[in-house]
């Protein structure tokens, strides 16, 4: 049977249907161990070798293994490596005679690595895959943009590109980084799949402030007073600003043109001062309640 399949693959004829749909680990399954990008590249190399050897089962197995590894990556994937993965998906789709998916995957890989050319040892210049690869360079994909959320202080990448959107009609490697650039989530999504649900609150930025040790052992009262004072000032600026704004927008008792310009400048200045004061209040509050007070209690 393997020899018959190889002949059909070589001739590009219809082949017996086999179950070769991607099988990624369930969302609730935890990774047994972290996976490095080098492990993923080794799997992709095995898949390319299986394609050259016309091993249908081998290339499908490499695809499935690669998807599982992506879901457990502990490193940020580079654009070129993501492009190589998408080319593997295109080769699998070619074997399965899914021309639309071939075009989609080659289009994504071309966007990530536009100057790449297949080595002769993998895809000869006169191979049908080479022609599909060239055609995909001028094909544009359509679809909705899905918003990729990231934790506070962190960011998201799609196929190694730092962005906050993903084209729903194309497959993608979604990775989430925390504020320190550490990969905290990694997942492969298929075309038209919904984005995975990550618990981003668990990775929100942790404020690390180099506060002198003496403050840890001292009373947090000065910090509380400073925070409260800043809060009162911020509230006062907001109140005065709203009063001036109402005077500026009052149509029943309009002010003269001479005062209008000065009042506008005053209102804008108060607005800027309120924003700055609010930011200071928030900063003092975060430092006081997340750094000073916990360390003061811990130092007793």
CB within 8 Å of 42: residues ≥ 6 apart: none
As given in the structure block, the two tokens for residue 94 are 């070619």
Q: C-alpha dihedral over 99, 161, 173, 207, to 10 degrees?
A: -170
**Rounded alpha-carbon distances, angstroms, from residue 256 to 247, 248, 250:** 11, 10, 12
- What is d(CA 153, CA 176) in angstroms, rounded to the nearest whole number? 11
Q: What is the pLDDT along the chain (300 residues), one digit of tens a residue?
A: 443 334 334 434 444 444 344 444 344 457 888 899 999 999 999 999 999 999 999 999 999 999 999 999 999 999 999 999 999 999 999 999 999 999 999 999 999 999 999 999 999 999 999 999 999 988 888 889 999 988 888 899 999 999 999 999 999 999 999 888 899 999 999 999 988 887 777 666 554 444 455 554 557 788 788 888 988 888 888 888 777 767 766 666 666 666 666 767 777 777 777 788 888 888 878 877 776 777 665 544
Residue extents of the structural domains in the chain = 2-203, 213-298
Given a contact cutoff of 8 angstroms between Cβ atoms, the answer to whether 39 and 65 are in contact is: no
**Structure letter (DSSP) for residue 204:** P
Given a contact cutoff of 8 angstroms between Cβ atoms, the answer to whether 120 and 108 are in contact is: no
Given a contact cutoff of 8 angstroms between Cβ atoms, the answer to whether 158 and 172 are in contact is: yes
- What is d(CA 92, CA 46) in angstroms, rounded to the nearest whole number? 12
- What is d(CA 221, CA 249) in angstroms, rounded to the nearest whole number? 42
- What is d(CA 228, CA 236) in angstroms, rounded to the nearest whole number? 12
Given a contact cutoff of 8 angstroms between Cβ atoms, the answer to whether 194 and 273 are in contact is: no
């Amino acid at each position: 049977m393997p020899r018959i399949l190889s002949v059909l693959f070589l001739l590009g004829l219809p082949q017996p249907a086999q179950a070769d749909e991607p099988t990624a680990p369930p969302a609730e399954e935890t990774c047994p161990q972290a996976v490095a990008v080098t492990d993923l590249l080794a799997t992709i190399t095995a898949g390319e070798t299986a394609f050259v050897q016309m091993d249908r089962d081998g290339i499908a197995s490499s695809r499935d293994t690669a998807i599982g590894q992506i879901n457990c990556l502990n490193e940020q994937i580079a654009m070129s490596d993501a492009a190589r993965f998408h080319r593997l998906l295109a080769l699998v789709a070619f074997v399965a005679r899914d021309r639309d998916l071939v075009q989609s995957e080659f289009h994504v890989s071309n966007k990530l690595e536009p100057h790449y050319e297949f080595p002769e040892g993998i895809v000869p210049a006169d191979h049908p895959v080479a022609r599909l690869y060239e055609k995909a360079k001028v094909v544009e994909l359509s679809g909705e943009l899905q918003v990729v959320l990231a934790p506070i202080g962190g960011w998201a990448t799609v196929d190694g590109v730092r962005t906050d959107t993903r084209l729903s009609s194309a497959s993608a490697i979604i990775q989430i980084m925390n504020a320190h650039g550490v990969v905290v989530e990694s997942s492969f999504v298929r075309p038209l799949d919904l984005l995975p649900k990550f618990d981003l609150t668990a990775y929100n930025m942790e404020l690390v402030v180099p506060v002198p040790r003496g403050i840890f052992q001292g009373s947090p009262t000065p910090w509380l007073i400073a925070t409260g004072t800043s809060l009162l000032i911020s509230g006062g600026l907001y109140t005065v600003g709203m009063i001036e704004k109402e005077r500026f927008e009052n149509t029943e008792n309009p002010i003269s043109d001479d005062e209008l310009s000065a009042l506008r400048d005053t209102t804008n200045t108060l607005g800027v001062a309120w924003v700055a004061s609010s930011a200071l209040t928030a900063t003092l509050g975060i430092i006081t309640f997340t750094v000073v007070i916990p360390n003061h209690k811990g130092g007793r």
